[in-house]
A and B are shown apart, each in its own frame.
Chain A
Protein backbone atom coordinates (compact mmCIF):
# COMPACT_ATOMS: atom_id res chain seq x y z
CA UNK A 1 0.00 0.00 0.00
CA UNK A 2 1.15 3.59 0.32
CA UNK A 3 2.83 2.29 3.47
CA UNK A 4 4.23 -1.11 2.52
CA UNK A 5 5.98 -3.43 4.96
CA UNK A 6 6.15 -1.18 8.00
CA UNK A 7 8.45 -2.49 10.75
CA UNK A 8 7.10 -2.51 14.30
CA UNK A 9 10.24 -3.54 16.26
CA UNK A 10 8.16 -6.42 17.65
CA UNK A 11 9.39 -9.98 18.01
CA UNK A 12 5.89 -11.21 18.78
CA UNK A 13 2.55 -9.66 19.60
CA UNK A 14 2.56 -8.79 23.26
CA UNK A 15 -0.15 -10.34 25.38
CA UNK A 16 -2.00 -8.38 28.03
CA UNK A 17 -0.27 -10.22 30.90
CA UNK A 18 3.18 -9.31 29.54
CA UNK A 19 2.35 -5.62 29.63
CA UNK A 20 3.02 -2.91 32.17
CA UNK A 21 -0.16 -1.47 33.76
CA UNK A 22 0.09 1.61 31.50
CA UNK A 23 0.51 -0.44 28.40
CA UNK A 24 -2.33 -2.68 29.37
CA UNK A 25 -4.67 0.23 29.93
CA UNK A 26 -3.60 1.57 26.54
CA UNK A 27 -4.31 -1.74 24.78
CA UNK A 28 -7.68 -2.02 26.49
CA UNK A 29 -8.65 1.44 25.25
CA UNK A 30 -7.76 0.39 21.73
CA UNK A 31 -9.72 -2.82 22.12
CA UNK A 32 -12.75 -0.78 23.19
CA UNK A 33 -12.39 1.30 19.98
CA UNK A 34 -11.25 4.51 21.69
CA UNK A 35 -9.03 6.95 19.84
CA UNK A 36 -5.53 7.74 21.09
CA UNK A 37 -4.75 11.44 21.03
CA UNK A 38 -1.32 13.14 20.71
CA UNK A 39 -0.78 14.19 24.33
CA UNK A 40 -1.78 10.83 25.75
CA UNK A 41 0.56 8.08 26.87
CA UNK A 42 1.47 5.52 24.24
CA UNK A 43 4.09 2.77 24.01
CA UNK A 44 7.26 3.86 22.31
CA UNK A 45 6.94 1.15 19.68
CA UNK A 46 3.42 2.32 18.80
CA UNK A 47 4.70 5.86 18.31
CA UNK A 48 7.68 4.74 16.23
CA UNK A 49 5.61 2.43 14.06
CA UNK A 50 3.06 5.14 13.41
CA UNK A 51 5.77 7.62 12.45
CA UNK A 52 7.13 5.10 9.94
CA UNK A 53 3.71 4.34 8.55
CA UNK A 54 2.37 7.89 8.35
CA UNK A 55 5.72 9.16 7.07
CA UNK A 56 5.82 6.57 4.32
CA UNK A 57 2.27 7.39 3.43
CA UNK A 58 3.01 11.14 3.30
CA UNK A 59 6.11 10.60 1.15
CA UNK A 60 4.03 8.51 -1.23
CA UNK A 61 1.58 11.36 -1.73
CA UNK A 62 4.44 13.75 -2.47
CA UNK A 63 6.44 11.51 -4.79
CA UNK A 64 3.11 10.46 -6.32
CA UNK A 65 2.78 13.95 -7.80
CA UNK A 66 5.62 13.18 -10.19
CA UNK A 67 4.30 10.41 -12.46
CA UNK A 68 1.05 12.31 -13.00
CA UNK A 69 2.79 15.67 -13.18
CA UNK A 70 4.62 14.13 -16.12
CA UNK A 71 1.43 14.54 -18.20
CA UNK A 72 -0.04 17.79 -16.89
CA UNK A 73 1.60 19.87 -19.60
CA UNK A 74 0.50 17.36 -22.25
CA UNK A 75 -3.07 16.76 -21.09
CA UNK A 76 -5.15 16.55 -24.27
CA UNK A 77 -7.92 19.06 -23.45
CA UNK A 78 -8.33 22.06 -21.17
CA UNK A 79 -10.83 20.11 -19.09
CA UNK A 80 -8.47 17.15 -18.65
CA UNK A 81 -5.65 19.50 -17.76
CA UNK A 82 -7.77 21.20 -15.10
CA UNK A 83 -8.94 17.87 -13.64
CA UNK A 84 -5.42 16.48 -13.50
CA UNK A 85 -4.10 19.67 -11.90
CA UNK A 86 -6.81 19.49 -9.27
CA UNK A 87 -6.05 15.85 -8.63
CA UNK A 88 -2.32 16.33 -8.24
CA UNK A 89 -2.98 19.35 -6.04
CA UNK A 90 -5.12 17.11 -3.82
CA UNK A 91 -2.21 14.68 -3.49
CA UNK A 92 0.06 17.49 -2.28
CA UNK A 93 -2.68 18.38 0.20
CA UNK A 94 -2.81 14.76 1.38
CA UNK A 95 0.92 14.90 1.96
CA UNK A 96 0.42 18.02 4.03
CA UNK A 97 -2.35 16.51 6.22
CA UNK A 98 -0.23 13.44 6.82
CA UNK A 99 2.94 15.34 7.70
CA UNK A 100 0.81 17.32 10.16
CA UNK A 101 -0.49 14.06 11.66
CA UNK A 102 3.10 12.79 11.95
CA UNK A 103 4.16 16.03 13.63
CA UNK A 104 1.73 15.34 16.47
CA UNK A 105 3.94 12.33 17.25
CA UNK A 106 6.99 14.53 17.72
CA UNK A 107 8.73 14.37 14.36
CA UNK A 108 9.00 17.45 12.14
CA UNK A 109 8.23 17.60 8.45
CA UNK A 110 11.83 18.62 7.77
CA UNK A 111 13.15 15.58 9.61
CA UNK A 112 10.89 13.28 7.63
CA UNK A 113 11.88 15.00 4.38
CA UNK A 114 15.53 14.48 5.25
CA UNK A 115 14.86 10.76 5.84
CA UNK A 116 13.14 10.48 2.48
CA UNK A 117 15.95 12.26 0.65
CA UNK A 118 18.66 10.16 2.26
CA UNK A 119 16.81 7.00 1.26
CA UNK A 120 16.22 5.95 4.89
CA UNK A 121 12.46 6.18 4.48
CA UNK A 122 10.54 4.73 1.56
CA UNK A 123 7.52 5.66 -0.46
CA UNK A 124 5.17 3.29 -2.27
CA UNK A 125 6.85 1.15 -4.93
CA UNK A 126 4.14 2.06 -7.46
CA UNK A 127 5.53 5.54 -8.05
CA UNK A 128 8.75 4.11 -9.41
CA UNK A 129 6.97 3.10 -12.59
CA UNK A 130 6.85 5.47 -15.56
CA UNK A 131 3.76 7.07 -17.12
CA UNK A 132 4.44 6.51 -20.81
CA UNK A 133 1.15 7.43 -22.47
CA UNK A 134 -1.97 9.40 -21.61
CA UNK A 135 -3.73 6.11 -20.86
CA UNK A 136 -1.30 5.65 -17.98
CA UNK A 137 -2.87 8.67 -16.32
CA UNK A 138 -6.18 6.86 -16.56
CA UNK A 139 -4.67 3.65 -15.24
CA UNK A 140 -3.05 5.45 -12.31
CA UNK A 141 -6.34 7.02 -11.23
CA UNK A 142 -8.30 3.84 -11.75
CA UNK A 143 -5.87 1.30 -10.30
CA UNK A 144 -3.47 3.19 -8.04
CA UNK A 145 -6.02 5.46 -6.43
CA UNK A 146 -8.40 2.51 -6.44
CA UNK A 147 -5.91 0.42 -4.48
CA UNK A 148 -5.22 3.37 -2.18
CA UNK A 149 -8.92 3.65 -1.39
CA UNK A 150 -9.06 -0.05 -0.49
CA UNK A 151 -6.47 0.56 2.17
CA UNK A 152 -7.50 3.99 3.33
CA UNK A 153 -11.21 3.47 3.88
CA UNK A 154 -10.61 1.06 6.79
CA UNK A 155 -7.85 3.34 8.12
CA UNK A 156 -10.51 5.95 8.83
CA UNK A 157 -11.13 3.74 11.88
CA UNK A 158 -7.48 3.53 12.89
CA UNK A 159 -6.71 3.98 16.60
CA UNK A 160 -4.61 7.12 16.33
CA UNK A 161 -6.97 10.13 16.26
CA UNK A 162 -5.03 12.54 14.01
CA UNK A 163 -4.29 9.75 11.51
CA UNK A 164 -7.92 8.64 11.41
CA UNK A 165 -9.09 12.21 10.86
CA UNK A 166 -6.53 12.78 8.09
CA UNK A 167 -7.82 9.60 6.44
CA UNK A 168 -11.40 10.81 6.57
CA UNK A 169 -10.46 14.01 4.72
CA UNK A 170 -8.33 12.11 2.25
CA UNK A 171 -10.92 9.47 1.45
CA UNK A 172 -13.44 12.15 0.48
CA UNK A 173 -11.11 13.21 -2.31
CA UNK A 174 -9.88 9.80 -3.38
CA UNK A 175 -13.12 8.66 -4.93
CA UNK A 176 -12.97 11.63 -7.32
CA UNK A 177 -9.44 10.56 -8.21
CA UNK A 178 -10.49 7.09 -9.07
CA UNK A 179 -13.48 8.26 -11.06
CA UNK A 180 -11.47 10.65 -13.20
CA UNK A 181 -9.02 7.84 -13.93
CA UNK A 182 -11.75 5.42 -14.90
CA UNK A 183 -13.33 8.11 -17.04
CA UNK A 184 -10.07 8.57 -18.97
CA UNK A 185 -9.86 4.79 -19.46
CA UNK A 186 -13.44 4.73 -20.71
CA UNK A 187 -12.72 7.37 -23.35
CA UNK A 188 -9.55 5.56 -24.39
CA UNK A 189 -11.18 2.14 -24.50
CA UNK A 190 -14.04 3.45 -26.63
CA UNK A 191 -11.75 5.55 -28.80
CA UNK A 192 -9.64 4.98 -31.89
CA UNK A 193 -7.67 1.72 -32.29
CA UNK A 194 -4.56 3.58 -31.14
CA UNK A 195 -6.30 4.81 -28.00
CA UNK A 196 -7.64 1.37 -27.22
CA UNK A 197 -4.16 -0.10 -27.64
CA UNK A 198 -2.79 2.50 -25.24
CA UNK A 199 -5.48 1.60 -22.70
CA UNK A 200 -4.71 -2.12 -22.90
CA UNK A 201 -0.98 -1.46 -22.70
CA UNK A 202 -1.46 0.71 -19.62
CA UNK A 203 -3.45 -2.05 -17.90
CA UNK A 204 -0.80 -4.59 -18.88
CA UNK A 205 1.96 -2.53 -17.31
CA UNK A 206 0.12 -1.35 -14.18
CA UNK A 207 -1.73 -4.51 -13.17
CA UNK A 208 1.19 -6.26 -11.45
CA UNK A 209 2.59 -3.13 -9.80
CA UNK A 210 -0.93 -2.29 -8.53
CA UNK A 211 -1.24 -5.73 -6.90
CA UNK A 212 2.18 -5.18 -5.33
CA UNK A 213 0.92 -2.01 -3.66
CA UNK A 214 -0.66 -4.15 -0.94
CA UNK A 215 2.70 -5.71 -0.08
CA UNK A 216 3.59 -9.40 0.06
CA UNK A 217 1.45 -11.81 1.99
CA UNK A 218 1.65 -10.95 5.68
CA UNK A 219 -0.15 -13.97 7.10
CA UNK A 220 3.00 -14.92 9.01
CA UNK A 221 4.22 -11.41 9.76
CA UNK A 222 4.77 -10.44 13.40
CA UNK A 223 4.85 -6.77 12.37
CA UNK A 224 1.43 -6.96 10.76
CA UNK A 225 -0.06 -8.84 13.71
CA UNK A 226 1.25 -6.22 16.14
CA UNK A 227 -0.02 -3.38 13.92
CA UNK A 228 -3.41 -5.04 13.78
CA UNK A 229 -3.52 -5.38 17.56
CA UNK A 230 -2.84 -1.65 17.72
CA UNK A 231 -5.47 -1.02 15.03
CA UNK A 232 -3.09 0.90 12.83
CA UNK A 233 -3.52 -1.83 10.27
CA UNK A 234 -7.05 -3.10 9.84
CA UNK A 235 -6.90 -5.80 7.15
CA UNK A 236 -4.25 -8.22 5.99
CA UNK A 237 -2.47 -7.53 2.71
CA UNK A 238 -4.02 -10.58 1.10
CA UNK A 239 -7.54 -9.58 2.14
CA UNK A 240 -7.15 -6.17 0.59
CA UNK A 241 -5.55 -7.52 -2.57
CA UNK A 242 -8.42 -9.98 -3.00
CA UNK A 243 -10.96 -7.20 -2.54
CA UNK A 244 -9.13 -5.07 -5.06
CA UNK A 245 -9.06 -7.83 -7.68
CA UNK A 246 -12.73 -8.61 -7.16
CA UNK A 247 -13.64 -4.98 -7.60
CA UNK A 248 -11.38 -4.32 -10.56
CA UNK A 249 -11.97 -7.36 -12.77
CA UNK A 250 -15.59 -6.45 -13.66
CA UNK A 251 -14.51 -2.84 -14.26
CA UNK A 252 -11.90 -4.04 -16.75
CA UNK A 253 -14.49 -6.20 -18.44
CA UNK A 254 -16.84 -3.23 -18.72
CA UNK A 255 -14.03 -1.32 -20.43
CA UNK A 256 -13.52 -4.20 -22.83
CA UNK A 257 -9.95 -4.64 -21.62
CA UNK A 258 -8.21 -7.88 -20.71
CA UNK A 259 -6.58 -8.30 -17.31
CA UNK A 260 -3.07 -9.63 -18.05
CA UNK A 261 -3.44 -12.83 -16.05
CA UNK A 262 -4.25 -16.08 -17.84
CA UNK A 263 -4.96 -17.85 -14.56
CA UNK A 264 -7.61 -15.35 -13.52
CA UNK A 265 -10.99 -16.98 -12.92
CA UNK A 266 -13.99 -16.74 -10.65
CA UNK A 267 -13.92 -19.18 -7.77
CA UNK A 268 -17.50 -19.86 -6.75
CA UNK A 269 -16.47 -21.63 -3.57
CA UNK A 270 -14.52 -18.76 -2.09
CA UNK A 271 -16.76 -16.14 -3.68
CA UNK A 272 -13.81 -14.36 -5.22
CA UNK A 273 -11.35 -14.52 -8.06
CA UNK A 274 -8.32 -16.76 -8.22
CA UNK A 275 -5.45 -14.81 -9.65
CA UNK A 276 -1.70 -15.01 -10.12
CA UNK A 277 0.67 -13.44 -7.62
CA UNK A 278 2.60 -10.50 -9.04
CA UNK A 279 6.32 -10.92 -9.58
CA UNK A 280 7.64 -10.46 -6.06
CA UNK A 281 11.26 -10.50 -7.17
CA UNK A 282 10.49 -7.39 -9.19
CA UNK A 283 8.85 -5.85 -6.11
CA UNK A 284 11.95 -6.39 -3.99
CA UNK A 285 14.16 -4.99 -6.74
CA UNK A 286 12.01 -1.85 -6.86
CA UNK A 287 12.19 -1.51 -3.07
CA UNK A 288 15.96 -1.91 -3.28
CA UNK A 289 16.10 1.07 -5.63
CA UNK A 290 16.15 -0.75 -8.95
CA UNK A 291 12.73 0.19 -10.30
CA UNK A 292 12.56 1.97 -13.65
CA UNK A 293 12.20 5.44 -12.10
CA UNK A 294 13.62 5.24 -8.56
CA UNK A 295 16.55 7.48 -9.35
CA UNK A 296 14.54 10.07 -11.28
CA UNK A 297 11.83 10.28 -8.65
CA UNK A 298 14.13 10.74 -5.70
CA UNK A 299 16.50 13.08 -7.48
CA UNK A 300 13.57 15.22 -8.65
CA UNK A 301 12.48 15.61 -5.02
CA UNK A 302 16.01 16.30 -3.80
CA UNK A 303 16.56 18.85 -6.56
CA UNK A 304 13.28 20.63 -5.76
CA UNK A 305 14.31 20.80 -2.12
CA UNK A 306 17.87 21.98 -2.73
CA UNK A 307 16.95 24.49 -5.45
CA UNK A 308 14.33 25.88 -3.10
CA UNK A 309 16.64 26.36 -0.12
CA UNK A 310 17.19 30.07 -0.86
CA UNK A 311 13.42 30.55 -1.05
CA UNK A 312 12.76 28.96 2.33
CA UNK A 313 15.70 30.80 3.90
CA UNK A 314 14.48 34.08 2.43
CA UNK A 315 11.07 33.66 4.02
CA UNK A 316 12.58 32.81 7.40
CA UNK A 317 14.94 35.80 7.23
CA UNK A 318 12.04 38.09 6.38
CA UNK A 319 9.90 36.94 9.27
CA UNK A 320 12.86 37.42 11.62
CA UNK A 321 13.33 40.95 10.30
CA UNK A 322 9.66 41.72 10.84
CA UNK A 323 9.78 40.34 14.39
CA UNK A 324 12.92 42.38 15.13
CA UNK A 325 11.33 45.55 13.75
CA UNK A 326 8.28 44.98 15.93
CA UNK A 327 10.44 44.43 19.00
CA UNK A 328 12.74 47.41 18.30
CA UNK A 329 10.35 50.31 19.02
CA UNK A 330 9.16 48.54 22.16
CA UNK A 331 12.71 48.08 23.41
CA UNK A 332 13.42 51.75 22.71
CA UNK A 333 10.32 52.82 24.64
CA UNK A 334 11.21 50.81 27.75
Chain B
Protein backbone atom coordinates (compact mmCIF):
# COMPACT_ATOMS: atom_id res chain seq x y z
CA UNK B 1 0.00 0.00 0.00
CA UNK B 2 1.23 3.53 -0.63
CA UNK B 3 2.03 5.81 2.27
CA UNK B 4 -0.46 8.41 1.09
CA UNK B 5 -3.43 6.07 1.14
CA UNK B 6 -4.83 5.19 4.56
CA UNK B 7 -5.01 1.38 5.03
CA UNK B 8 -8.25 -0.34 5.97
CA UNK B 9 -8.44 -0.39 9.79
CA UNK B 10 -8.46 -4.19 10.28
CA UNK B 11 -5.67 -4.62 7.77
CA UNK B 12 -3.61 -1.93 9.50
CA UNK B 13 -4.13 -3.51 12.90
CA UNK B 14 -3.15 -6.92 11.53
CA UNK B 15 0.06 -5.46 10.11
CA UNK B 16 0.83 -3.52 13.27
CA UNK B 17 0.39 -6.65 15.38
CA UNK B 18 2.72 -8.59 13.10
CA UNK B 19 5.35 -5.92 13.64
CA UNK B 20 5.29 -6.54 17.37
CA UNK B 21 4.80 -10.31 17.29
CA UNK B 22 7.42 -10.89 14.61
CA UNK B 23 9.95 -8.83 16.55
CA UNK B 24 9.41 -10.85 19.73
CA UNK B 25 9.49 -14.09 17.72
CA UNK B 26 12.71 -13.38 15.88
CA UNK B 27 14.49 -11.94 18.90
CA UNK B 28 13.28 -14.83 21.08
CA UNK B 29 14.61 -17.24 18.49
CA UNK B 30 18.00 -15.50 18.43
CA UNK B 31 18.23 -15.55 22.21
CA UNK B 32 17.32 -19.25 22.28
CA UNK B 33 20.34 -19.98 20.07
CA UNK B 34 22.49 -19.40 23.16
CA UNK B 35 20.96 -22.27 25.09
CA UNK B 36 23.77 -24.29 26.69
CA UNK B 37 26.53 -22.06 25.28
CA UNK B 38 26.52 -18.96 27.45
CA UNK B 39 29.46 -17.78 29.59
CA UNK B 40 28.04 -18.91 32.93
CA UNK B 41 25.23 -21.12 34.16
CA UNK B 42 23.17 -18.24 35.56
CA UNK B 43 23.17 -16.66 32.10
CA UNK B 44 21.96 -19.87 30.49
CA UNK B 45 19.03 -19.77 32.86
CA UNK B 46 18.36 -16.05 32.43
CA UNK B 47 18.56 -16.18 28.64
CA UNK B 48 16.24 -19.16 28.46
CA UNK B 49 13.85 -17.17 30.58
CA UNK B 50 13.96 -14.15 28.28
CA UNK B 51 13.51 -16.36 25.21
CA UNK B 52 10.63 -18.12 26.89
CA UNK B 53 8.88 -14.83 27.68
CA UNK B 54 9.37 -13.55 24.15
CA UNK B 55 8.02 -16.74 22.60
CA UNK B 56 5.05 -16.62 24.96
CA UNK B 57 4.34 -13.03 23.96
CA UNK B 58 4.65 -14.04 20.32
CA UNK B 59 1.89 -16.58 20.78
CA UNK B 60 -0.37 -13.81 22.06
CA UNK B 61 0.52 -11.14 19.51
CA UNK B 62 0.46 -13.43 16.49
CA UNK B 63 -2.64 -15.14 17.84
CA UNK B 64 -4.39 -11.79 17.88
CA UNK B 65 -2.95 -10.87 14.47
CA UNK B 66 -4.47 -14.04 13.04
CA UNK B 67 -7.79 -13.37 14.72
CA UNK B 68 -7.91 -9.80 13.40
CA UNK B 69 -7.00 -10.99 9.92
CA UNK B 70 -9.94 -13.38 9.98
CA UNK B 71 -8.43 -15.78 7.44
CA UNK B 72 -8.12 -18.70 9.85
CA UNK B 73 -4.36 -18.41 10.34
CA UNK B 74 -3.11 -19.39 13.80
CA UNK B 75 -0.04 -17.98 15.50
CA UNK B 76 1.84 -21.10 14.36
CA UNK B 77 0.69 -20.68 10.77
CA UNK B 78 1.95 -17.12 10.83
CA UNK B 79 5.25 -18.06 12.44
CA UNK B 80 6.03 -21.14 10.40
CA UNK B 81 4.38 -20.66 7.02
CA UNK B 82 5.39 -17.19 5.91
CA UNK B 83 8.51 -16.37 3.95
CA UNK B 84 10.93 -13.59 4.86
CA UNK B 85 9.21 -10.86 2.84
CA UNK B 86 6.02 -11.37 4.84
CA UNK B 87 7.82 -10.90 8.15
CA UNK B 88 7.45 -7.49 9.79
CA UNK B 89 10.05 -7.60 12.57
CA UNK B 90 12.49 -4.83 13.33
CA UNK B 91 15.89 -5.41 11.74
CA UNK B 92 17.64 -5.31 15.11
CA UNK B 93 15.85 -8.52 16.12
CA UNK B 94 17.40 -10.51 13.29
CA UNK B 95 20.98 -9.27 13.86
CA UNK B 96 23.20 -12.31 14.49
CA UNK B 97 24.13 -13.02 18.10
CA UNK B 98 27.82 -12.18 17.73
CA UNK B 99 29.69 -12.39 21.02
CA UNK B 100 27.84 -12.26 24.32
CA UNK B 101 28.38 -8.49 24.45
CA UNK B 102 26.62 -8.04 21.11
CA UNK B 103 23.71 -10.17 22.31
CA UNK B 104 23.42 -8.19 25.54
CA UNK B 105 23.62 -4.81 23.86
CA UNK B 106 21.00 -5.83 21.29
CA UNK B 107 18.79 -6.98 24.14
CA UNK B 108 19.26 -3.78 26.10
CA UNK B 109 18.57 -1.41 23.20
CA UNK B 110 15.47 -3.40 22.32
CA UNK B 111 14.29 -3.85 25.93
CA UNK B 112 14.41 -0.11 26.56
CA UNK B 113 12.21 0.47 23.51
CA UNK B 114 10.00 -2.56 24.19
CA UNK B 115 9.26 -1.41 27.73
CA UNK B 116 8.18 2.07 26.62
CA UNK B 117 6.06 0.62 23.85
CA UNK B 118 4.30 -1.82 26.18
CA UNK B 119 3.66 0.81 28.83
CA UNK B 120 1.88 2.91 26.23
CA UNK B 121 0.05 -0.11 24.82
CA UNK B 122 -1.49 -0.87 28.20
CA UNK B 123 -3.60 2.25 27.56
CA UNK B 124 -4.64 1.08 24.09
CA UNK B 125 -8.20 1.75 22.97
CA UNK B 126 -8.30 -1.91 21.92
CA UNK B 127 -8.74 -3.92 25.13
CA UNK B 128 -7.20 -7.04 23.57
CA UNK B 129 -4.02 -5.12 22.85
CA UNK B 130 -4.02 -3.54 26.30
CA UNK B 131 -4.41 -6.93 27.98
CA UNK B 132 -1.48 -8.54 26.14
CA UNK B 133 0.66 -5.47 26.79
CA UNK B 134 -0.09 -5.54 30.51
CA UNK B 135 1.03 -9.14 30.77
CA UNK B 136 4.11 -8.63 28.62
CA UNK B 137 5.12 -5.42 30.43
CA UNK B 138 5.62 -7.32 33.68
CA UNK B 139 8.05 -9.68 31.98
CA UNK B 140 9.86 -7.01 30.01
CA UNK B 141 10.40 -4.86 33.10
CA UNK B 142 12.56 -7.70 34.35
CA UNK B 143 14.34 -8.08 30.99
CA UNK B 144 15.21 -4.39 31.00
CA UNK B 145 16.39 -4.38 34.58
CA UNK B 146 18.69 -7.28 33.84
CA UNK B 147 20.07 -6.10 30.50
CA UNK B 148 20.64 -2.53 31.73
CA UNK B 149 22.44 -3.83 34.79
CA UNK B 150 24.74 -6.04 32.72
CA UNK B 151 25.48 -3.26 30.23
CA UNK B 152 26.58 -1.03 33.11
CA UNK B 153 28.68 -3.71 34.76
CA UNK B 154 30.41 -4.78 31.56
CA UNK B 155 30.86 -1.24 30.23
CA UNK B 156 32.44 -0.27 33.53
CA UNK B 157 34.30 -3.57 33.96
CA UNK B 158 37.64 -4.45 32.41
CA UNK B 159 39.19 -2.72 29.44
CA UNK B 160 38.25 -5.69 27.29
CA UNK B 161 34.65 -5.82 28.44
CA UNK B 162 34.28 -2.09 27.78
CA UNK B 163 35.82 -2.45 24.32
CA UNK B 164 33.42 -5.27 23.47
CA UNK B 165 30.38 -3.38 24.71
CA UNK B 166 31.40 -0.23 22.84
CA UNK B 167 31.96 -2.24 19.64
CA UNK B 168 28.51 -3.78 20.04
CA UNK B 169 26.93 -0.39 20.64
CA UNK B 170 28.65 1.12 17.60
CA UNK B 171 27.50 -1.73 15.41
CA UNK B 172 23.90 -1.82 16.63
CA UNK B 173 23.21 1.88 17.00
CA UNK B 174 22.14 2.32 13.39
CA UNK B 175 19.45 -0.33 13.92
CA UNK B 176 17.69 1.66 16.64
CA UNK B 177 16.39 4.46 14.41
CA UNK B 178 13.82 2.07 12.96
CA UNK B 179 12.01 2.01 16.33
CA UNK B 180 10.76 5.55 15.72
CA UNK B 181 10.05 5.75 11.99
CA UNK B 182 6.37 5.89 11.16
CA UNK B 183 4.43 5.00 8.04
CA UNK B 184 0.72 5.03 7.17
CA UNK B 185 0.03 1.98 9.33
CA UNK B 186 1.54 3.64 12.38
CA UNK B 187 -0.38 6.82 11.67
CA UNK B 188 -3.62 4.85 11.46
CA UNK B 189 -2.87 3.04 14.75
CA UNK B 190 -2.02 6.31 16.49
CA UNK B 191 -5.11 8.05 15.11
CA UNK B 192 -7.29 5.27 16.50
CA UNK B 193 -5.40 5.42 19.83
CA UNK B 194 -4.66 1.72 19.47
CA UNK B 195 -0.90 2.16 19.52
CA UNK B 196 1.42 5.08 20.28
CA UNK B 197 2.97 7.00 17.44
CA UNK B 198 6.53 5.60 17.10
CA UNK B 199 8.11 9.06 17.12
CA UNK B 200 6.48 9.78 20.47
CA UNK B 201 8.67 7.14 22.14
CA UNK B 202 11.96 8.58 21.00
CA UNK B 203 12.74 11.16 23.70
CA UNK B 204 12.04 8.85 26.59
CA UNK B 205 14.07 6.07 24.96
CA UNK B 206 17.01 8.34 24.33
CA UNK B 207 16.91 9.62 27.90
CA UNK B 208 16.85 6.09 29.35
CA UNK B 209 19.57 4.80 27.04
CA UNK B 210 21.85 7.84 27.47
CA UNK B 211 21.68 7.58 31.24
CA UNK B 212 22.50 3.87 31.27
CA UNK B 213 25.25 4.13 28.68
CA UNK B 214 26.87 6.99 30.51
CA UNK B 215 26.81 5.00 33.74
CA UNK B 216 28.40 2.21 31.71
CA UNK B 217 31.11 4.68 30.61
CA UNK B 218 30.15 4.01 26.98
CA UNK B 219 29.98 6.64 24.25
CA UNK B 220 26.72 7.15 22.40
CA UNK B 221 27.63 7.02 18.69
CA UNK B 222 27.31 10.29 16.81
CA UNK B 223 25.78 8.74 13.68
CA UNK B 224 22.06 9.22 13.20
CA UNK B 225 21.82 6.95 10.17
CA UNK B 226 19.01 4.42 10.48
CA UNK B 227 18.76 1.07 8.71
CA UNK B 228 15.13 0.38 8.01
CA UNK B 229 12.81 -1.88 6.09
CA UNK B 230 12.07 -4.76 8.44
CA UNK B 231 8.67 -3.42 9.39
CA UNK B 232 7.56 -3.45 5.73
CA UNK B 233 9.19 -6.78 4.87
CA UNK B 234 12.57 -5.73 3.49
CA UNK B 235 15.07 -7.68 5.56
CA UNK B 236 18.76 -8.48 5.84
CA UNK B 237 20.21 -11.72 4.45
CA UNK B 238 20.17 -13.13 7.98
CA UNK B 239 16.42 -13.59 8.27
CA UNK B 240 16.19 -16.14 5.46
CA UNK B 241 18.69 -18.40 7.20
CA UNK B 242 16.96 -18.02 10.51
CA UNK B 243 13.62 -18.99 8.95
CA UNK B 244 15.12 -21.93 7.06
CA UNK B 245 16.16 -23.29 10.42
CA UNK B 246 13.07 -22.34 12.41
CA UNK B 247 10.52 -23.47 9.80
CA UNK B 248 12.29 -26.65 8.69
CA UNK B 249 9.86 -29.22 10.11
CA UNK B 250 6.69 -27.38 9.13
CA UNK B 251 8.00 -26.91 5.60
CA UNK B 252 9.42 -30.42 5.17
CA UNK B 253 6.30 -32.17 6.56
CA UNK B 254 3.46 -29.78 5.75
CA UNK B 255 0.67 -32.19 6.67
CA UNK B 256 2.12 -33.32 9.98
CA UNK B 257 0.72 -32.38 13.39
CA UNK B 258 3.30 -31.93 16.15
- Chain A positions within 8 Å of B, measured between CB atoms, are 62, 65-66, 69, 72-82, 85-86, 88-89, 92-93, 95-96, 99, 109, 134, 184, 187, 191-192, 194-195, 300, 303-305, 307-319, 321
Contacts and interface: CB of A to CB of B under 8 A. Distances in A.
B193 interface: no
B55 A85 contact: yes
A18 B245 CA distance: 63
A259 to B, nearest CB: 24
B180 interface: no
Residue of A309, A311, A312 most packed against chain B (CB within 10 A)? A311
A88 B34 CA distance: 12
B161 A317 contact: yes
A261 B253 CA distance: 30
Contacts of B257: 187, 191
Residue of A85, A89, A93, A192 most packed against chain B (CB within 10 A)? A85
A307 B52 contact: no
Contacts of A195: 253, 256
Contact of A65 (B36, B154, B160, B250): B36
A137 B52 CA distance: 18
A78 B258 contact: no
A90 to B, nearest CB: 9
10 contacts: A76-B250, A77-B80, A78-B55, A78-B62, A78-B76, A79-B59, A92-B45, A308-B100, A310-B158, A315-B153
A270 to B, nearest CB: 39
Nearest to A113: B41
A305 B249 contact: no
B242 to A, nearest CB: 8
B245 A74 contact: yes
A81 B55 contact: yes
Contact of A194 (B38, B101, B256): B256
B24 to A, nearest CB: 11
Nearest to A303: B37
B161 A314 contact: yes
Contacts of A314: 153-154, 157-158, 160-162
**Top 6 nearest A-B pairs by Cβ distance?**
A308-B39, A314-B161, A314-B157, A65-B36, A89-B48, A76-B258
A75 B35 CA distance: 13
Interface string B231-258: 0000000000000011011100101111
Contacts of A99: 41
Nearest to A61: B41
Contacts of B119: none
B249 A134 contact: yes
B76 A304 contact: no
B169 interface: no
Contact residues of B: prevailing secondary structure: helix
A62 B35 CA distance: 11
A315 B257 CA distance: 45
Interface residues of B, number: 51
B3 interface: no
B40 interface: yes
Interface string B138-173: 000000000000001110111011101000000000
A108 to B, nearest CB: 13
Given A74-B248, A314-B157, A81 B32 contact: yes
Contact of A82 (B44, B56, B100): B56
B29 interface: yes
B79 interface: yes
Nearest to A306: B39
Nearest to A81: B55
Nearest to B39: A308
Contacts of A75: 249
Interface in B40-58: 40-45, 48-49, 51-52, 55-56, 58
A310 B164 contact: yes
Contacts of B248: 74
A88 B256 CA distance: 25
B50 to A, nearest CB: 10
Contacts of A315: 153-154, 157
Contacts of B25: 78
A89 B49 contact: yes
A76 B162 CA distance: 39
B44 A65 contact: yes
A56 B40 CA distance: 18
A85 B48 contact: yes
A192 B100 contact: no
Contacts of B76: 77-79
Contacts of A72: 32-33, 35
